[in-house]
Amino acid sequence: MTPMEHIKEDWIILHDGTDGRGLRYECTRCGRVYAPALPLEVEVFVALSKAFTRHHKRCRPSGESRASSEIETRIAAAIESGA
Within 1-83, residue ranges assigned H as helices are: 42-56, 66-81
**pTM for the model:** 0.63
The pLDDT, as a whole number, for residue 43 is: 94
pLDDT tens for 24-67 read 999 998 889 999 999 999 999 999 999 999 999 888 775 445 55
Q: Which of 15-19, 23-27, 67-71 has the lowest mean pLDDT?
A: 67-71
27 in Cβ contact with 10 (< 8 Å): no
Among 32, 12, 15, 55, residue whose Cα is nearest residue 24: 15
Return the number of other C-beta atoms located less than 10 Å from residue 26's C-beta: 18
